[in-house]
Amino acid sequence: MTARNGEPLAFSAVGLGTGPLGDFFELLNEMTAISTVEQGLASGVRVFDSSPHYGNGLAESRLGAGLRRAQRDQIVVSSKIGRIMDPFGKKPEVRKDVVSPGFAGGFPHAPRFDYSYDGAMRSIEHSLLRMGLDRLDIVLIHDCDVWTHGRDDAGPRFKEAMAGAYVALDKLRREKVVKAIGFGINEADTCVKFAKAGDFDVAMMAGRYSLLDQTGLQEFLPLALQKGMGVMLAGVFNSGILATGSIPGAKFDYAVAPESIVTKVKGIEEVCRRHHVTIRQAALQFAMAHPAVVSIVLGAVTPEEVKANVHDASVEIPASLWSDLKSANLLNEAAPTAG
C-alpha cells in the first residue's frame, strides 16, 4: 500500500509482534528473544511491531538487537506512542479497574501516560535510541481506550491524543520523517472513533476480529476500506484459546475462558478436525481473508513459534471449512473468507 504522503509500505502477510518479548508472561532468555526476531527475518517476515509499553522498553531493545543485520529498506518497523519511560521514577500501582495487563518482567523504568505533542516526539526519540534505528516506518497512537484508561479517563485521553499526538505525527508524516501514522486499539468502537477523527494510514486492531469475536466487522473494517486505511490485526488468537484449543485453563482476552467461549471453541475444533485443519490455522487464515487487512501481527517468544506462524498462515484450507462453520452458526455469515 501507499501512505498518504506517497511513501510505499510493503507488508508481509505475517508480522512479528514483540509484546511477549517484553517479558509479558514470563522472564525470557535474552539470546532466545533476539534469535526469535532473527528467525522472523529468515522466515520472510518483514513487519515488526513494538511499543515502549512492552516490558517498559525491553521489547524495543530486543527488537533492535535482532534487526541489527537487517537491510533497513526491506523491513517495516512499527512502534507506538502514549507512554514515556522514566528511568528514575517509581512504578505506579497496578489498577484493578482496567483490563490492560501488566508484564512479568521488563526494564525497571516507570511508565507515564502522555499523549501530548511533546510527549509523542519524546517517545519516538526514546524508541529510536532503544532500537538503535534512525527512523520508524509506522507510528501508532497506543491504548487510548477504555480497556487501558477506564471509562472516566478514556474520553479526556482521546481529546489529548487528537489535539497533541496526532498533530505531531501528522507533521512527521508530511515531512516524511515517518511513512505512516495510525492507532493501536483493543476496542472496535474506539477504532471507529479514531478513524472518523483523523486522516490515518493504518490501524492496528487487537482481538476484535477473530474466529470468536467479529465486533470489528460491522462498522470499523468497512470504514477502513472506505478511507483507504490498511489494518494490521493483532490478538487473532484472543490471547490464547484459538492457538491452544479448548484445553483446561485456556485463556480468552487475558483471563480464563468462560464456559460459553470454551463450548464455541469445541464446536469450531470439531469442524476443523473434519477438514484436517488445526484451529490455529483456521484462526490465522480467517483473519487474513478480510480485504482491509494488510498483515496479521503475531507474537512469538522462540524461533520455532515464528516458523509455526509462517507455516500455519500458508497451509491450504478448503473453502468448505468456512461454509460449514457458517452453517453451524459458529461464524458470522457476512464475514469474508478465502476460497
Catalytic residue list: 49, 54, 80
DSSP, collapsed to helix, strand or coil, labels residue 134 as coil
Question: Per-residue b/e over 294-314, b at no fewer than 16 CB within 10 Å?
Answer: bbbbbbbbbbebbebbbebbe
Cα radius of gyration rounded to whole Å, the chain? 19
Place of cell 486499539: 185
**How is residue 55 written as a grid cell?**
516490558
> Measuring CA to CA, which residue among 177, 76, 74 is closest to residue 125?
177
Pick the closest to residue 239 from 22, 24, 13, 82 (CA basis).
Answer: 24
Taking the C-alpha atoms of residue 63 and residue 41, their distance in angstroms, rounded to an integer, is: 11
d(CA 253, CA 101): 10
Q: With contact defined as beta carbons under 8 Å apart, do 208 and 187 qualify?
A: yes
Q: How far apart are CA 143 and CA 149, in angstroms?
A: 8
